[in-house]
Amino acid sequence: MRVKHPRNALVVGGVFVLVAIIYYLVSHDAGGTTTLAALGIAMGLAAYALVVGTSDDL
């Protein structure tokens, strides 16, 4: 997977944070927003680590 800059992988996390924000605005559900926002953080971290961790050849 050729990502130009590994930091672009953080977009994955950003998507979920965006969903969390939209969700909070429409529902004001504190619990669900927390899990969605945490998901954004965790996904961003995982995507970044996996992309950075992979060799350039593949």
Partner 1 sequence: MSASTALTTHAPAIAEGHRAGISNPILGMILFICSEVMFFAGLFAAYFNVRATAPVWPPSAAEVGEHLAERFDLHAEPWLAAILTIVLVSSSFTCQLGVWAIRRDDRRGLIRAIGVTMVMGIAFLIGQVYDYSQLGFGLSDGTFGTTFFTLTGFHGAHVFGGVIMLGVVLFRAMGGQFSARHHDAVEAASIYWHFVDVVWICLFSLLYIIPTK
Partner 2 sequence: MATTALTPAATTYRSSLYEWVTTTDHKKIGILYLVNSFVFFFIGGILALGVRSQLAVPENKLIPPELYNQLFTLHASLMLFLFIIPILAGFANYVVPLQIGAPDMAFPRINALSFWMLPLAGIIMLAGFLTPNGAAAEGWTSYSPLAQRAYSGTGTDLWVVAVTLIGTSSILGSINFLVTIFKMRAPGMTMFRLPILVWTALVTSVLVLMATPVLTSALIMLFIDRNYGGHFFDPATGGNAVLWQNIFWFYSHPAVYIMILIAMGIVSEVLPVFSRKPLFGYKAFVFATAGIGALGFSVWAHHMFTTGTVYLPFFSFMTFLIAVPTGVKMFNWIATLFRGQLRFSTPLLFALGFLTMFLIGGINGAFSAAVPVDFALHDTYWVVAHLHYVLFGGSVFGVMAGVYYWFPKMTGRMLNETLGKIHFVLMFIGFNVTFFPMHILGLEGMPRRIAMYASSSGWGGLNLLATVGSIVIAASMLPFLWNVLVSLRSGEVAGDDPWEGNTLEWATSSPPPPYNFDHLPEIRSERPVFDARHGRTSSHGTRA
Which residues sit at the interface with partner 2, rule CB under 8 A? 1, 15-16, 19, 22-23, 26-27, 29, 31-32, 35-36, 39, 42-43, 46, 50, 53-55, 57-58
- Residue 38's Cβ-side half-sphere holds a number of Cα atoms within 13 Å equal to 6
Shortest spacing between CB 48 and partner 1, in angstroms? 9
Tell me if 30 contacts partner 1 by CB under 8 A.
yes
Measured between alpha carbons, how far apart are the two ends of the chain, in Å? 7
CA distance 39 to 46: 10
Is 7 or 32 the residue whose CB approaches partner 2 more closely?
32
